[in-house]
A = this chain, B = another copy of it.
Amino acid sequence: MSVEELYQSPWNFLGLPEELARPSRARGWLLPIPYESTTSYGAGTREGPAAILSASRQVELYDQEYDCEPATEYGIHTLNPLGLVHRSPEAMVKAVEEAVFGIFSGSPHPEVLAVLGGEHTLSTGVARGLARAMPGERLVSVQVDAHADLRDEYEGSPFSHACAARRILDVCPVFQVGIRNLSIGEAAFCRGSKRVRTVFSEEANDPRGSFLEDLAEFVRNKRVFITIDLDGLDPSIMPAVGTPEPGGISWERLLQVARTVCLHAAQVPVYDVVELAPIPGFRAPDFLAAKLVYKLFSYTLVKRKKRTVSKRRSRHE
In the assembly, what is the distance between CA of A118 and CA of B197, in Å?
A: 38
**Residue A7 contacts which of B40, B79, B237 (CB distance < 8 angstroms)?**
B79
A24 at the interface (CB under 8 A from B): no
Which single residue of chain B is at the shortest CB-CB distance from A84? B155
A37 at the interface (CB under 8 A from B): yes
Chain B residues with Cβ below 8 Å from A58 are: 40-42, 243
Which single residue of chain B is at the shortest CB-CB distance from A202? B64
In the assembly, what is the distance between CA of A47 and CA of B280, in Å?
A: 13
Chain B residues with Cβ below 8 Å from A181 are: 60
Q: How far is the CB of A268 from chain B (nearest CB, A)?
A: 21
With contacts A6-B83, A64-B200, A102-B3 taken as known, whether A50 is within 8 angstroms of B54 at the C-beta atoms is yes
A160 at the interface (CB under 8 A from B): yes
Interface bits A271-287 vs B (CB < 8 Å: 1, else 0)? 00000000111111001
Q: Are A37 and B37 in contact (CB under 8 A)?
A: yes
In the assembly, what is the distance between CA of A54 and CA of B243, in Å?
A: 12
**Residue A82 contacts which of B7, B57, B239, B247 (CB distance < 8 angstroms)?**
B7
Interface residues on chain A, number (Cβ under 8 Å): 84
Chain B residues with Cβ below 8 Å from A210 are: none
With contacts A40-B58, A41-B58, A58-B40 taken as known, whether A8 is within 8 angstroms of B85 at the C-beta atoms is no
Chain B residues with Cβ below 8 Å from A36 are: 39, 43
Q: How far is the CB of A9 from chain B (nearest CB, A)?
A: 7
Q: Are B239 and A247 in contact (CB under 8 A)?
A: no
**Residue A6 contacts which of B82, B87, B155 (CB distance < 8 angstroms)?**
B82
Q: How far is the CB of A309 from chain B (nearest CB, A)?
A: 12
A266 at the interface (CB under 8 A from B): no
Chain B residues with Cβ below 8 Å from A98 are: 3, 6
Which single residue of chain B is at the shortest CB-CB distance from A237? B236
Which single residue of chain B is at the shortest CB-CB distance from A241? B284
Interface bits A248-269 vs B (CB < 8 Å: 1, else 0)? 0001100000000000000000
